[in-house]
Structure 1
């Protein structure tokens, strides 16, 4: 009798238990953050099905991936039809549309997300969701508006509704996060929002990247007479502290946040983990590209209102609002301090947009393009205006990773290594000239 009982229990322990592998959806799969997430999902053998959503096919060759041509600007009803039979436990939303008008920017990007979520409801896919990861950024803190309290923390006050007694331009991340949180509560699933800063990475045909513009500036400077590499921005920016985010590190974080216990319904800074400044990076850029660091770097002072470097045109841009620091001014004892009251100013001792239109600069670029068969689109679509903000501001942008670290995140990337790795990729894709040849030929 006892032996039969043991045999019965033994058969229960060897009973086959089916393990269902999860699937994932990535929107904006052709962008820098989205393509990196797809790449790392393919490396993760946990996922058996990956849907890449974008208007154009990113061309991944893997049996686990399926491309879905999707226009996120279409109606929820039209998207629901395009998504028939498509569902996943984990969704990574990286889609973004840029426009100069801040009100329109908010409206468009909030609609992208809300219509997509409605489409998932209409076709029944929302019932399968476990966690939805939304990519946002440091504009959450108003770093594009002016200086804020350092370091930047996820529970810093939102810049809205006259917080601190000031009016703030709309920040669409807030709208998206509320739309997402409401949908998650209704559907019984969880959400995560990530806040990367100045993402370093590569995506085919996507040139909205600080590294691309910086690399082009360095390569052309090498080809110009004297091979000088003057800093484009202000003296204050040269000494300020900043942080960057590797697209690969961000992708790894997103996969971690999708399943990490306790990470649901949270907002996280996602930065490399080091703190950098251009006083350290700029000489390394010059050495890498074989350029000469000018001395003095700021012959006219490098402050707003001064002349440009040598014969280059400078720009002084007064921003129209109070700095984000004003939102916390009273609690910091700074309610009467000029740092919380004065409108921020951007200063470029070499305006990159004007620099890119100069005759001597375009001749140097054409020489490089023809000599090394480079992609003209990279020059035409380079985001020089991105450098105006990232090199022209006179304030630091440093975030804390403590919140994620306390939940177990251990990821780290060295910013210089990531920048150099991006340059090497851009060289291999014919966007920047091959480094050894550039240094030998010029």
Structure 2
């Protein structure tokens, strides 16, 4: 019988890992770490209130007597400045590892699983080579002759690898993409923002559901990751021979596109698909859909594809010098501030007793990125498959299940009543 530590246990990935550890009979003890108590009711779980922003010595005092063979590190902070993002999250991890060294718990670790993401490939700053492979070059050290914005996963992986080598234990880093799942009180979830957008659109005159992003994005191909599938992968990677000291893409296993998902969302919420969906022909200008405000956001960097331009025979291609651009025909952040939109939300909130925090904390800026980009984000699962991973999830099914949970948790209105009342 073994034990586990889960940091960020109130987050979407962390809480999913806790739930799957509870189902695994080989685990006899689970330590859940977070700043607030998630309220797990199970004798196998011991919650530890821990502020990872504290010093190693402060954390060590809290962690006296805590020890586990497997660590699942899902905590991170999101300051706006990229340099600060790297510094803060590197310190979170390094101080936590040092705290385990101070208590002596580090000697019992077998594998340490770190949750990262597709920012590993720079998909948040432009088009990268497709499909995304774990062996793709890092966007640093003047890769492709370009100075790149800092990506904090790189620092974390180096810290982890060095500590593992020193302590004679192993590490694994996972790279999920656009995670679909639910954690109580945590609204950093694409499904929450999409669900709120659809539900409010149902109430607005005409019940139209315009796609917020660009026409190019509507037709790109992308991968999503179920929080439950990611949790299953983490437990698999913790014990699978040959998985140690490796980085793995973790996606559902299918490839999806909003051209398929958006009409299904419209049908689900009882909305009408506009025709034309892109009245301006998809031309990027300052005009939005109807009277909605659009946005054009230009990045200061070159596309990540430039890092491998020479090996692809694209060194002289002028597009390698273009700044990546996001375009939203309905800017979700601006949309969520409109009086008519907020009146519609208030109507839903009062009628169905919904959670105002979900609206206040919805990550509209995340939709700006995922729907405004004109590049695909498709990763290969071949590396994990070759080691024996067979997990799979249907992205629409996972999105549907998450929306149903959001309804039960009073984040979204009950679907049947919404379609009947409006």
Q: Same fold (TM over 0.5)?
A: yes
User: Match of 2:16?
Assistant: 36
Equivalent residue in structure 2 for 1:115, among 95, 105, 110: 95
Q: CA separation in 2, counterparts of 1:67 and 1:306?
A: 50
Query: Does structure 2 retain, via aligned residues, the 8 Å contact 1:300–1:306?
Result: no
Q: How does 1:341-352 map to 2 (within 5 A)?
A: 341-352=321-332
**Root-mean-square deviation (CA), in Å?**
0.5
CA drift of 1:313 comes to 0.5
CA drift of 1:55 comes to 0.7
1:297 has 2:283 as partner = no
Q: CA separation in 1, counterparts of 2:158 and 2:118?
A: 17
Q: How many residues are matched?
A: 422
1:57 has 2:37 as partner = yes
Structure 1: segments with no counterpart, 5+ residues: 1-20
Bigger radius of gyration among the two: 1
1:266 has 2:241 as partner = no
Q: CA separation in 2, counterparts of 1:52 and 1:277?
A: 35
CA drift of 1:302 comes to 2.3
CA drift of 1:339 comes to 3.2
Q: Structure 1 stretches (4+) deviating beyond 6 angstroms?
A: none
1:275 has 2:255 as partner = yes
Query: Does structure 2 retain, via aligned residues, the 8 Å contact 1:91–1:131?
Result: yes
Q: CA separation in 2, counterparts of 1:188 and 1:65?
A: 27
* SS of equivalent to 1:226: helix
The Cα offsets for residues 209-261 of structure 1, whole Å up to 9 and x where unpaired, read as 10000000000000101000000000000000000000000000000000000
Equivalent residue in structure 1 for 2:219, among 239, 256, 262: 239
User: Match of 1:405?
Assistant: 385
The Cα offsets for residues 255-304 of structure 1, whole Å up to 9 and x where unpaired, read as 00000000000000000000000000000000000000000000012232
User: Match of 1:9?
Assistant: none
Query: Does structure 2 retain, via aligned residues, the 8 Å contact 1:33–1:94?
Result: yes
CA drift of 1:336 comes to 1.3
* SS of equivalent to 2:311: coil
Q: How does 1:118-133 map to 2 (within 5 A)?
A: 118-133=98-113
TM-score, normalization by structure 1: 0.95
* SS of equivalent to 2:205: coil
User: Match of 1:221?
Assistant: 201
Query: Does structure 2 retain, via aligned residues, the 8 Å contact 1:25–1:53?
Result: yes
1:339 has 2:291 as partner = no
TM-score, normalization by structure 2: 0.99
The Cα offsets for residues 152-202 of structure 1, whole Å up to 9 and x where unpaired, read as 000000000100001100000000000000000000000000000000000
User: Match of 2:2?
Assistant: 22
Equivalent residue in structure 1 for 2:128, among 145, 148, 154: 148
Structure 2: segments with no counterpart, 5+ residues: none
CA drift of 1:306 comes to 4.3
User: Match of 1:10?
Assistant: none
Query: Does structure 2 retain, via aligned residues, the 8 Å contact 1:304–1:345?
Result: no
Query: Does structure 2 retain, via aligned residues, the 8 Å contact 1:140–1:173?
Result: yes
Q: CA separation in 1, counterparts of 2:128 and 2:267?
A: 33
User: Match of 2:399?
Assistant: 419
CA drift of 1:337 comes to 1.2
User: Match of 1:182?
Assistant: 162
